[in-house]
Amino acid sequence: MLNRIVAFLTGYLLIIVRGPYLEKFINLMTNSGLRIWDVKWLGEGVLESKIRAGSFLRCRHLFRQVGVVVKIHRKTGWPFLWQKMVKRKTFFLGAVGCLSLILYLSTFVWVIRIDGLRGAEKIQLQKNLAKSGLYPGISREKLLKEKRLMEQETILRTPKASWLGISLSGVVANVRVIPRKTSQKAKINRQLVANSAGVVQKVITIRGTPLVKEGDSVVAGDLLIDGVEWYLDPDTGELAQKKTAAVGRVIARVWEEWEIVEPRVRWQQVWRKKVATEYKVRLGRRLWSIISLGQQTAQSKGYRWRKTLYQSRNPLNNVEIIKDVWYEHKWQQKRRSLAAMKKAALKELQQKQHNYSAPGKQQFVSQSRRWILQKDFLKLQITVELLREIAVVRK
Amino acid sequence: MKDKWVQIGEKVADILDIPLETVIDWPGIAMSGNKSLVIQNHLGIIEYDQELIRVNTKLGEIRITGSSLSLLVAYKEEIVIEGRIGGVQLVDWR
């Protein structure tokens, strides 16, 4: 093969040799170090052979010596091709231009193959890929640079895909998609019922048949949205029903009773003098005591102050200085005034409201308060009016 | 004199356990199926046509018979014969 490539580059001739002593011709050629190949017997006293173009002139005396007639049948190889090209400049320029155009166009992606999705999902993925920057005509260099980003953006835009990978093969971008496995079908004939009593304010039915309307009063356990759907049977022309999983929201006005009790007498912790201080250093999981001042007792209670000197990614490997301080303390009764009790009750109410309100789930409409003062307690009774979703799935 | 060198070459090849043709320029014949035949260290072609090729070597003559025979390569050191080879005969070998 190598000989043939060299022969093409240096140029070779297809010659036809006629004469009585062809074997002698072959032997003389080979013994002179000249290479001939593809020697074919054409007939009595005639054969064809290939010979390098440069060797032909050197062996003319051999032809005469043997007494054969040699005729050049064809000239092949790059030197002859080049001569032809030089004569046909326009053709040569056209060939060079065509080659350059092919090379230039091969720096772009022209075909996008998607494997893993079909139908409408595939078309949607093509649109998402185009939004992420992968479209026919994008340069290969840009695609290779931003491939990772494109993959991540497309996955975010395509909920049907759980994984997506782009690979480049020539001018073809292969997009391999692993589709997301859908969850099991919703339980059929699912019904939505009320979880508390109230007055319905809004009914949003996505699937199923609503059994309540705005203004209806319901109690806990009442059916709100039934898991059936009505349709016109094309065979019989009559209304028929089929079971389905009810989906929807029912917003209702509900009332709740809260009670907050504040005792007049409370136990309070009183701190006395400092009894002990200890400084420590923690290196990773080891703890060393540096200085310890004073003596801690059974009644003393302490708090810890710490300063981190080296913050590791693993908190267990941090280096920090720790200061432990112990105080004497004792519990004592404290009698509060009415104003202090009210203030504490209102603070607790505020905290409860804060904890109770969840955005999108429920909102406070109004409240009425009643204060009841007893011998050792102050009671705060509140009736709260809320707008809340009351529909829950019947178990 | 030549025979003496051949004998020495044979002994060297035997001692060193190397192929004989690397020491002595004896003809080497290698066939690939019945489609091609390579002959190394030949001394020229005696007769050539489509059905018979006779090749001279140091040890004697090799006759290759068959049909559609052609010389794929004809170099000084080796020739390659292609075609449908029917038989290879060693004539007057020493």
The pLDDT value given to residue A86: 82
Q: Specify the range with the lowest mean pLDDT, choosing from A151-165, A338-352, B14-28.
A: B14-28
A190 residue type, one letter: R
Q: Is residue A184 part of a domain?
A: no
Query: Mean pLDDT across chain B, nearest whole number?
Result: 86
pLDDT for A57-73, tens place per residue? Answer: 888 888 888 888 999 99
Whether B3 shows a pLDDT value over 80: the answer reads no
CB distance A17 to A26 below 8 Å:
no
B44 touches chain A (CB under 8 A): yes
Q: How confident is the model at residue A230 (pLDDT cuts 50, 70, 90)?
A: confident
d(CA A216, CA A200): 5
- CATH class in words for B26-91: mainly beta
Is B75 in contact with A31 (Cβ distance < 8 A)? no
Question: Are both A272 and A239 inside the same structural domain?
Answer: no
The pLDDT value given to residue B1: 53
The mean pLDDT value for B82-94 works out to 90
**Is residue B26 classed as helix, strand or coil in its secondary structure?**
coil
CATH of the domain at A34: 3.30.70.260
Query: Mean pLDDT across chain A, nearest whole number?
Result: 88
- Tokens representing A371 are 């204060």
Whether B6 shows a pLDDT value over 80: the answer reads no
Q: Which of A143, A158, A179 is the last residue of a domain?
A: A179
Structurally, how many domains does chain A consist of? 5
Q: Is residue A350 part of a domain?
A: yes
Question: Are both A17 and A57 inside the same structural domain?
Answer: yes
Q: Is residue A167 part of a domain?
A: yes
Q: How confident is the model at residue A1 (pLDDT cuts 50, 70, 90)?
A: confident
Is A38 in contact with B69 (Cβ distance < 8 A)? no
Whether A161 shows a pLDDT value over 90: the answer reads no
**Is residue B21 classed as helix, strand or coil in its secondary structure?**
helix
The mean pLDDT value for A353-377 works out to 80
Share of chain A above pLDDT 70, in %: 97
A66 touches chain B (CB under 8 A): no
CB distance A341 to A264 below 8 Å:
yes
Out of B46, B74, B76, closest to residue A37 by CB: B74
pLDDT for A13-47, tens place per residue? Answer: 999 999 888 888 889 888 888 888 999 988 888 99
d(CA A358, CA A356): 6
Out of A30, A38, A40, closest to residue B76 by CB: A30
Q: Which of A82, A99, A123 is the last residue of a domain?
A: A82
The pLDDT value given to residue A302: 84
The pLDDT value given to residue A186: 53
For residue A303, how many C-alpha atoms fall within 13 Å in the half-sphere facing its CB? 5
**Chain A partners within 8 Å of B47 (Cβ):** 23
> Which of B38, B75, B79 is the best mutation test for A, with the most CBs of A within 10 A?
B75
> Which of A15, A23, A35, A47 is the best mutation test for B, with the most CBs of B within 10 A?
A23
Q: Is residue A168 part of a domain?
A: yes
Whether A185 shows a pLDDT value over 70: the answer reads no
Q: Is residue A213 part of a domain?
A: yes
The pLDDT value given to residue B12: 78
Out of A30, A38, A41, closest to residue B75 by CB: A30
Going from the C-alpha of A13 to that of each of A17, A40, A141, the distances in angstroms are 12, 14, 45
pLDDT for B24-76, tens place per residue? Answer: 778 889 999 999 999 998 999 999 988 999 999 988 999 999 999 999 988 88
Out of B46, B50, B76, closest to residue A23 by CB: B46
The pLDDT value given to residue A323: 93
Q: Is residue A165 part of a domain?
A: yes
The pLDDT value given to residue A110: 93
CB atoms within 10 A of CB A309: 11
B36 residue type, one letter: S
The pLDDT value given to residue A361: 64
Out of A26, A41, A49, closest to residue B49 by CB: A41
The pLDDT value given to residue A16: 93
Whether A322 shows a pLDDT value over 90: the answer reads yes
Whether A156 shows a pLDDT value over 90: the answer reads no
The pLDDT value given to residue A235: 81
CB distance A208 to A248 below 8 Å:
yes
**Is residue B80 classed as helix, strand or coil in its secondary structure?**
strand
The residue range of the domain holding A217 is 192-251
B82 touches chain A (CB under 8 A): no
Whether A207 shows a pLDDT value over 90: the answer reads no
Burial A178-196 (b: 16+ CB within 10 A, else e): eeeeeeeeeeeebbbbbbb
pLDDT for A271-286, tens place per residue? Answer: 888 889 999 999 888 8
Whether A145 shows a pLDDT value over 80: the answer reads yes
Share of chain A above pLDDT 90, in %: 40
Question: Are both A43 and A70 inside the same structural domain?
Answer: yes
Is A23 in contact with B69 (Cβ distance < 8 A)? no
Give the CA angle between residues A101, A104, A105 to the nearest 5°. Answer: 85
B12 residue type, one letter: V
**Chain A partners within 8 Å of B62 (Cβ):** none
CB distance A207 to A145 below 8 Å:
no
Q: Is residue A225 part of a domain?
A: yes
The pLDDT value given to residue A316: 82
B30 touches chain A (CB under 8 A): no
The pLDDT value given to residue A194: 93
Whether A216 shows a pLDDT value over 90: the answer reads yes
Q: Which of A332, A354, A380 is the last residue of a domain?
A: A332
The pLDDT value given to residue B86: 94
Out of B48, B50, B72, closest to residue A26 by CB: B48
pLDDT for A336-363, tens place per residue? Answer: 999 999 999 999 988 888 877 766 667 7
Whether A182 shows a pLDDT value over 80: the answer reads no
Q: Is residue A375 part of a domain?
A: yes
pLDDT for A235-280, tens place per residue? Answer: 888 888 888 889 899 999 999 898 999 999 988 888 888 889 999 9
Contact residues for A327 (Cβ-Cβ < 8 A; gap 6+): A271, A272, A273, A274, A275, A300, A301, A302
Whether A176 shows a pLDDT value over 90: the answer reads yes
A88 touches chain B (CB under 8 A): no
Nearest alpha carbon to residue A164 among A121, A116, A97: A116
Is A31 in contact with B49 (Cβ distance < 8 A)? no
CB distance B91 to B61 below 8 Å:
yes
The pLDDT value given to residue A105: 94
The pLDDT value given to residue A35: 85
The mean pLDDT value for A145-159 works out to 89
B36 touches chain A (CB under 8 A): no
B41 touches chain A (CB under 8 A): no
CB atoms within 10 A of CB A326: 19
Bigger pLDDT: A170 vs B3: A170
